[in-house]
């Protein structure tokens, strides 16, 4: 019998936890219990979790509760939170992974603390100098992997090459039917544009480009990220985080403006009835909850960060992301990519 996918979940991290985390778990189990190929290891205050699981009537056969009385406080400074992080639900969650009892960790807790704790426990892969924070964005043809989204402000050309290898491995594990197509985010698509770091990284990516790992497509501008011409977008953490926040703000603006326009009069409300299904499809495409979950790459094991303020549906999507990452054998894909890059 194949080994079950084992996901470690910090139930106490983020806003409105553990309510939203457990409700998200309930949705995931309901949608996937027929597969019977996973187990969820939930870390937090056992008494509280058991009580809430009973109220939610969640199938406990697929759940293991591991007691963690301490939690990472959002009120502490990042430095204090890291110092006090040992034996918290976040710490125990990742420790369970390094002990070989879970395949992946998930938390909605403080991003900086999670990155530091994950790096302390899992350690960096020996071939990688810096970790990257990757996210999923929709494009016209499917999905993009975009990285780095904020883990690194200082970087060099080799870091960008590493991010390309990590991002293309993630794309292959999640979307095996699509070939990774890598682009570097730049101020223009012409070869003469950009810094020396970008030019050096671009040259190296052209050398590494092949059908087995990824196809390098060259530079891409910000207004072309969602065109679908490329599906792995590589940049530094400073630029990537600005791009992320801009995209999130734009999506919110479009949805709010559309809602306002369609409800401003009796005539627009009537037209809404006839275009309901088209508009619903459009709204679903832009729903940020569907893309919840940033992935820490470059460590000796995958860690997923859920947005702290997300609701139960969004948290469900981050659990589903963890499931797909393990099912797609991300770590094997990364090792394959890195072996190729070091040999060329």
Say which CATH architecture domain 1-126+299-308 belongs to: 3-Layer(aba) Sandwich (3.40)
Per residue in 308-342, pLDDT tens?
888 999 999 999 999 999 999 999 999 888 876 66
Tokens of 174: 């999640």
Strand stretches in 57-151, DSSP E:
63-67, 104-107, 132-139, 142-147
Higher-scoring residue by pLDDT: 266, 225? 225
CB-count burial class (<10 Å; 0-12, 13-18, 19+) for 111 = buried
Say which CATH architecture domain 129-297 belongs to: 3-Layer(aba) Sandwich (3.40)
In whole angstroms, what is the distance from residue 306 CA to residue 311 CA? 10
Which one-letter DSSP state was computed for residue 2?
P
pLDDT at 216: 96
Contacts of 60 (CB under 8 A, 6+ apart): 53
Residue 43, pLDDT > 80, answer: yes
For the chain, residues classed under CATH 3.40.718.10 are 1-126+299-308, 129-297
Q: What is the mean pLDDT of the segment spanning 82-94?
A: 88
In whole angstroms, what is the distance from residue 147 CA to residue 158 CA? 14
Q: What is the mean pLDDT of the segment spanning 253-279?
A: 74
Nearest to 231 by CA among 137, 109, 152: 137
Residue 66, pLDDT > 90, answer: yes
Q: Say if residues 283 and 256 touch (Cβ distance below 8 Å).
A: no
Per residue in 258-269, pLDDT tens?
778 777 777 677
Mean pLDDT, the chain, rounded, equals 89
């Amino acid at each position: 019998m194949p080994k079950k996918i084992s996901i470690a979940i910090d139930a106490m991290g983020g806003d409105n936890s553990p309510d939203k985390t457990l409700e998200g778990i309930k949705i995931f189990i309901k949608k996937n219990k027929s597969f019977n190929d996973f187990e969820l290891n939930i870390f937090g205050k056992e008494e509280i979790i058991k009580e809430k699981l009973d109220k939610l009537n969640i199938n406990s056969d697929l759940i293991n509760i591991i007691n963690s009385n301490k939690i990472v406080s959002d009120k502490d400074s990042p430095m204090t939170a890291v110092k006090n992080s040992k034996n918290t639900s976040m710490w125990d969650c990742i420790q369970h992974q390094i002990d070989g009892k879970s395949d992946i960790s998930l938390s909605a807790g403080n991003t900086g603390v999670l990155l530091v704790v994950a790096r302390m426990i899992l350690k960096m892969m020996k071939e990688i100098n810096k970790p990257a924070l990757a996210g999923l964005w929709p494009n016209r043809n499917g999905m993009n992997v975009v990285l780095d989204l904020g883990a690194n402000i200082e970087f060099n050309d080799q870091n960008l090459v590493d991010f390309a290898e990590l991002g293309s491995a993630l794309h292959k594990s999640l979307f095996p039917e699509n070939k990774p197509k890598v682009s570097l985010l730049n101020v223009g698509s012409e070869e003469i544009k950009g810094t020396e770091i970008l030019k050096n990284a671009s040259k190296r990516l052209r050398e590494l480009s092949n059908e087995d790992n990824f196809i390098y497509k060259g530079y891409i501008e910000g207004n072309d990220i969602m065109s679908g011409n490329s599906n792995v977008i590589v940049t530094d953490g400073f630029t990537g985080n600005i791009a992320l926040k801009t995209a999130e703000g734009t999506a919110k603006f479009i949805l709010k403006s559309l809602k306002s326009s369609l409800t401003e009069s009796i005539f627009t409300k009537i037209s809404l009835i006839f275009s309901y299904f088209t508009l619903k499809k459009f709204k679903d495409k832009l729903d940020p909850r569907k893309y919840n979950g940033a992935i820490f790459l470059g460590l000796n094991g995958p860690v997923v960060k859920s947005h702290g303020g997300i609701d139960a549906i969004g948290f469900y999507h981050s659990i589903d992301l963890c499931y797909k990452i393990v099912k797609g054998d991300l770590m094997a894909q990364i090792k394959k990519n890195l072996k190729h890059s070091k040999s060329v």
